[in-house]
Structure 1
Amino acid sequence: MPVEDGTKVPRLPPRWFIRTAWSVHRALYRVFGGRIGIWRPRADRWGTLRLTTTGRRSGRQRSVIVAYLEDGPNLFTLAMNGWGAGEPAWWLNLRAHPDATVDLVGGRRLVRGQAATGDERSRLWARWREIDPNIDAFATLRPSETAVVILAPRPDAG
């Protein structure tokens, strides 16, 4: 099935495979004490970070590993849920409790999450498209717009 620009909609592996791959990724991070599993972005590739949010219902700390890019002092990621339907739990948690922490190769940062909107969202989406030219085709797999999430340094991180 082609999308607007004529490219074909990509096929994803089964959900169980995607979930298993991310579980293994998180396990490697834990087993190796953070020395494996996260990396810095490069000019032609996104990086990965460990995001810790506060559970919207439980109030407990929840950690995930997500892809990210840098935008000045901010980091940004996509709330894509493995390109599946529904919002990822970490994004629902962040919307309820915007203060979070990220673990990067260079250390930990205190951040506040928010959705990019308007021109800023368009600009950041275009930046991601430079890294992944298939992003628009993947986005068509979701029934709703994929949030671009900004992780800005917290004012109290002083």
Structure 2
Amino acid sequence: MAREKKPWLPPRWFIRGAWQVHRALYRVLGGRTLRPPRAGRWGMFRLTTLGRRTGRERSVILAYFRDGPDLVTLAMNGWGAPEPAWWLNLRARPEATATLVDGRFRVRARKADGEERERLWTRWRELDKNLDAYAARRPGQTAVVVLEPA
């Protein structure tokens, strides 16, 4: 049986640096790094949560697609092992703010389970052919996060 080749990922320091550059570009360009999903591509939005320990606002840029009125994203940490801080924040306080190209609105987060998770994972797989291979690099199941308008 042939071994499945894992997709290449840059080193962790590079991924973290890219996140910092992306946040800086967001600030400098006034949010023009955000984009809506297009046919066969995911979009990018800014999620602002409240820190679970500090209570301070924390923002991150995430990939998403729309499922009706909901936004769907993945709780991956650059495909690293730990859960992303924004997901830990949402689990403690599910209310957040989503900023898209067409404006800001309040959302409430929840984890998709069962058939809903499978359906949404399949849609992600259509947008990223390496999704399963990347997810296999993580020790646990990657949460599919649904952000419903609040």
* 2:90 maps to which of 90, 94, 97: 94
**2:81 aligned with 1:81, yes or no?**
no
Q: Find the aligned partners of 2:72 and 2:13 in 1 and give their Cα distance.
A: 26
Match of 1:57 in 2: 53
- Displacement, 1:6? 6.0
Paired residues of 1:26 and 1:37 also in contact (CA < 8 A): no
Aligned match for 1:121, one of 117, 120, 144: 117
In the alignment, what sits opposite 2:106? 110
- Is 1:140 matched up with 2:120? no
Matched residue pairs, number? 150
5+ residue gaps, structure 2: none
Match of 1:27 in 2: 24
Would you say the 8 A contact 1:41–1:68 is kept in 2? yes
Looking at structure 1, the residues matched to 75 and 3 of structure 2 have their Cα atoms a distance apart, in angstroms, of 25
The 5-angstrom pairing of residues 2-13 of structure 1 reads 7-13=4-10
- What is the CA RMSD across the aligned residues, in angstroms? 1.4
Rounded Cα–Cα distance in structure 2 between residues aligned with 1:103 and 1:135: 25
Q: Is the 8 A contact 1:10 1:137 kept in 2?
A: yes
TM-fit CA distance, 1:44:
1.1
Partners of 2:35 and 2:93 lie apart in 1 by 26
With normalisation by structure 2, the TM-score equals 0.97
* Length-normalised TM-score, structure 1: 0.92
Is 1:14 the equivalent of 2:15?
no
Q: Which of structure 1's runs of 4+ aligned residues deviate more than 2 A?
A: 4-7
- In the superposition, relative to structure 1, how do residues 143 and 105 fare at CA in structure 2: closer, same or farther (>3 Å)? same
Q: Is the 8 A contact 1:28 1:37 kept in 2?
A: yes
Long gaps (5+) in structure 1: none
CA deviation map 1:16-65 (0-9, x unaligned):
1011111101110011211x211001111110000000100000110000
Letter in 1 for 2:107: V
Q: Tell me, what secondary structure is at the counterpart of 1:30? A: helix
